[in-house]
Amino acid sequence: MAAYTAQAAAEGIFDLDPMEIFWRDLQPYLLSKGYKLRPKYAPGWTPPWVGTDIYPHLFEETIINPLPWVVDAQREEDGMIVAIKWAPAMAHTRNEVDVLQFVSTPDMLADPRNHCNPLLDSFPNPNDPNGVLIVTPWLFDFYSLPIFYVNELVDFMLQLFEGVAFLHEHRVAHRDCTHANVMQDVRSAFPRLQPHPLSMSYARDGTTLVDPLDRCVCHPPIRYYLIDFGISSRFDGDGPYRVTGTIGRDPTAPELSDTVPYDPFKLDVYMVGNFFLQRYVRKYSNLEFLRPLLLRMTRQIPERRPNMEQALRALQKAARRPRGVAYRWRLREREEPFPNALVRDICALFREAYFQATHEIL
């Protein structure tokens, strides 16, 4: 192994990639701002496994960052893990700082309906004046910690609907509120050891295995956030509000156009509705109580869709329909082999037994 790693290092296999070099070159500057990157980004870093008989993937440094323009860091004043994002001056990032500053004022942050990942800091890039570095709390996606139960999904939906309605109340349209732009703060699911920012199976050291708590026992409850406000629009006055543009993660909205103006708030309604319709309702059989609302939200004619506040009220009403065990049951896949279904139902039954043993059932 030692000979192999030495040869691989000589061939450049373990060299930093271009984006890792981008962050390595910023490491001293970020440290001066109070943000410490992982050891891999320190100037002069060399792979610690080279010349040893230890398998490289046993080292934290081999964990790959899938987000080239975002890096995790530790805020030195309190140890908080944060995300530092490079937002170059481009069309898809032009409004990021303005909207983040607006939703991150003390008054806005004091409102519990605000589900925008707050701006902690921002500063210029000394190596490139055409953009800005943005600091926000580190969040996780839903591939790392999926949702497994009906009540968990309903809670997620209620929070996201509430967050988008809050933005609309303040004349902000997100315009890309779907998929990877919705994330979660999972710190309460790891009360003993916090997970590594890029690999939730491990602690921050990259080697110690960790397991999350079930969402139903997390205190405080897991909270969901909107991120990425680069193409968001903020308006003044009474409207009507219109935009153009086709940039975004969901290209299926029928009104998207680079030339014909459309209502960005009704676009948000479509995107939120389509996100849950495609990702959850069409995949799981016990979510049909949500389908009528989501179909209204994704109508082809924007004027026929509800606004986000109306959708939130409709969801609150729909969420009362499944009761008792059905509300707390696992999400059932439509195409699920019987052996898999049996095992998962048994696990769900034990979870329900635990719930009933620890809660007063009316």
Kind of pairing, strands 195-196 and 182-185?
unpaired
Whether the pLDDT of residue 110 is over 70: the answer is yes
Assess whether pLDDT exceeds 70 at residue 13.
yes
Q: What is the DSSP letter of 38?
A: P
Q: Which one-letter DSSP state was computed for residue 356? A: H
**Neighbour-count burial of 213, counting CB atoms closer than 10 A to its CB (0-12 exposed, 13-18 middle, 19+ buried):** middle
At 190, which amino acid appears?
F
Give this prediction's pTM.
0.93
Torsion over CA of 144, 321, 159 and 345, rounded to 10 degrees? -10
- pLDDT tens figures, 29-39: 999 999 999 99
pLDDT of 21 above 60: yes
Name the DSSP class of 116. B
Sign of dihedral through CA atoms 343, 349, 146, 72?
A: negative
Better pLDDT: 148 or 7: 148
150-328 domain in CATH 1.10.460.10?
no
Half-sphere exposure of 143 (CA within 13 A, CB side): 6
For the chain, the structural domain boundaries read 2-90+117-137, 150-328
| Burial class of 197 by CB neighbour count within 10 A (0 to 12, 13 to 18, 19+) | buried
| Percentage of the residues of the chain whose pLDDT score is greater than 70 | 98
CA nearest 109: which of 87, 137, 82?
Answer: 137
When pLDDT is cut at 50, 70 and 90, the band that residue 359 belongs to is low
Q: Average the pLDDT over 222-248 and give the result.
A: 95
The answer to whether residues 225 and 115 touch, using CB atoms and an 8 Å cutoff, is yes
3-state secondary structure of 185: strand
pLDDT-based confidence at 56, cuts 50/70/90?
A: confident
Share of the chain above pLDDT 90, in %: 74
Q: What is the DSSP letter of 175?
A: S
Predicted pLDDT of residue 55 = 84
Q: Which helix (H) or strand (E) segment is 81 a member of?
A: strand 81-88
Residue 338 belongs to what H/E stretch?
A: helix 338-358
Among 59-63, 209-213, 300-304, whose mean pLDDT is lowest? 59-63
pLDDT for 117-161, tens place per residue? Answer: 999 999 999 999 999 999 999 999 998 899 999 999 999 999 999
Q: Which of 56, 52, 50, 49 is nearest to 10 (CA)?
A: 50
In 3D, which of 6, 15, 16 has the Cα closest to residue 50? 6
